[in-house]
Amino acid sequence: MFLSFFFAAFVILLSAVYANAQEHRSNQRHDSNQWFHPRDHPVHQLFRRDDATTDGATYPQVGSPAWTAAYPASTPNSAKLPAAWTDALSAAVAAGSIPDIPPSKIAAPNTSPVYPEGYDPTSPKVCSGTYKCRIPGDMWDAPDGYIGMGFDDGPTDDFLEDKNQRVTHFMIGCNMLSQPALLTRAMDLGDDIAVHTWTHPYMTTLSNEDVLAQLGWTLQVIHDSSGGRLSKFWRPPYGDTDVRVSAIAKEVFGLETILWNRDTEDWSLTSGGTTDEAIQNSMTEWLSGPKSPGLIILEHELSTPSVRAFEHAYPLMKSNGWNLLSVTQAVATDGSAYQNAYSIDSGEVTPADVVSGNLTTTSISTASSATTSTSSTTTRSSTSLSRSSSSTLS
């Protein structure tokens, strides 16, 4: 009888532990072979550690002069990049993994990039995100029933902390240097940190080397400020990417691209481009509509009005039965926002995850089946800091 009682109690205890683990899934680590990029991906070599038994590095304190001095103060000089980065880019180009298309140009202020004659931005050959062309593998939609929660260009807000709501912050590199406390606060809250380039340019207008610099330095400062974590995702400013830019991000740095399928245009609240009422009308329509595909809504924390617009819409997200999840975790097949760790607070990075590897590049599908879409058409089966530009933000 005693054994029966003991066994029953053990089963109850085990069930409670399992339920608790499921409830706090976002705080747990997956087995390493489920969440990091293949060990032959060059990113593991680019951010390699010398010590195979510990974290392998001592970083300057975030915000200290030594920390700030390690990174470009403004637009990075692509002639002064780590050799490992440029070697990896050269290897990817030589392997035919980077499409050979020319950069676009901005013909006039506040206009979309244009390509030379013969390069249709909606064609599979180019597939520009600015023109809503979807590169296979880029993330535009959340899984059915989910809202992927993320913000561009802004600080964290107490509202999110009060709601215990984790989100992704797509952060701009140079602004992390000027406002390091906002980076550390986001990490302290357990939020996910993703790449939003160094100075927020139109990425398709840049040379291969300048694309490399914009992504590499942003990934580097996040890596050095988070105990060695490598962000798995990036978001192109203005949604401006194409098969060339996305291939550089993926082939050299292991970065996957997240865009959006709904846009509040909240960045224009302070200039009269939209109103809180207009945003709430759009939110009501989206949130009360179909749950397939799930939503990735472009939102910013640039100003008090943009933050308040989100706060006003948050109850609608909950009352309409949406599942809310940090967007990087929502679109990742393994639920992880990082290439070599499960979350920002999942403990130390396993040293082998960043020490092992070589410069063998992996190939990806680029434009073979690209599609153009002005609305959500596909689904997935898997479950920032302020700036002073007056142009369209994203």
How many other CB atoms sit within 10 Å of the CB of residue 360? 13
Q: How many CB atoms lie within 10 A of CB 334?
A: 16
Catalytic residue list: 152, 300
Distances (CA, A) of 80 to 76, 213, 242: 8, 9, 25
- Cα-based torsion angle of the residue sequence 66, 71, 73, 75 in order, rounded to the nearest 10 degrees: 180
Half-sphere exposure of 390 (CA within 13 A, CB side): 3
Count H helices, E strands: the chain?
Answer: 14, 10
* CA R_g for the chain: 21
Contact 116, 107 (CB under 8 A): no
Asked whether the beta carbons of 283 and 299 are under 8 A apart, the reply is no
Cβ proximity of 87 and 359 under 8 Å? yes
